[in-house]
Chain A
């Protein structure tokens, strides 16, 4: 029927510096994306994208960001994401880039994708990890994620991702 349709861009903040993810702030990131779109697509692009723009979900441990924009202008936002090179917070500049994982029409589809993506990432981490204690922790979270099939996704996201974040530090 008649409603405003949105596109949700699931992105991952990738950076060499481990302090970069911890200093993620939704307002700072929202402002950064808006400025980049305005720089790249002018006053028209900046205004068009900022109507329905919002940062819907932000996870500082894994660096996962969910951005929302209107369906008519989501390509302007998507094309501006590779031009984000630095994250500025409290005077510190961290070089980083945004990797787009998934574009979905609703938050639910993005969540489903994120659950599958996190499961795959856990298996990759299991292969790459060296410490025995970390290995056991990851194995435990892998078995938990396989058993809890129908649980709401938030638990899995937080449990799996925190262990993964510790393992990667």
Chain B
């Protein structure tokens, strides 16, 4: 007795999220340096412009949140520009003559994933 032929349907789900979200923190070698949100964005754009030119300095980059005390921010960039932004953050060395470095804490295509970080989990 032949089994009834089942109909299969194949669903391919490619990640449709067009933005990637990065949680970054800026560290200076010396203490006491403060930046406001506009200066922070100017720093990001100048890093992109330095490495990838004016075309990529015009990438749609947004700062979603920014904390001036800890100099940490959540950035949003379109997915095609993620690699370029990350590499230009890596190669950024100084701001107005003072040495600094970007620490990338978390990267995710979903914003919700940035709300909890298992690395910062404290176990009692």
Contacts and interface: CB of A to CB of B under 8 A. Distances in A.
Contacts of B51: 42-44
Interface SS of chain B: helix
A79 B52 CA distance: 14
A44 B56 CA distance: 11
Interface residues of B, number: 9
Interface of B: 48-56
Interface SS of chain A: helix
A91 to B, nearest CB: 27
Interface of A: 38-45, 79
Contacts of B49: 42
Contacts of A39: 53-54
Nearest to A43: B51
B66 to A, nearest CB: 25
A43 B50 contact: yes
Contacts of B50: 42-43
Nearest to B91: A43
A67 to B, nearest CB: 19
B54 A45 contact: no
Contacts of A43: 50-51
Given A39-B53, A42-B50, 17 more contacts: A38-B53, A40-B53, A40-B54, A40-B55, A41-B52, A41-B55, A41-B56, A42-B48, A42-B49, A42-B51, A42-B53, A42-B54, A42-B56, A43-B50, A43-B51, A45-B53, A79-B55
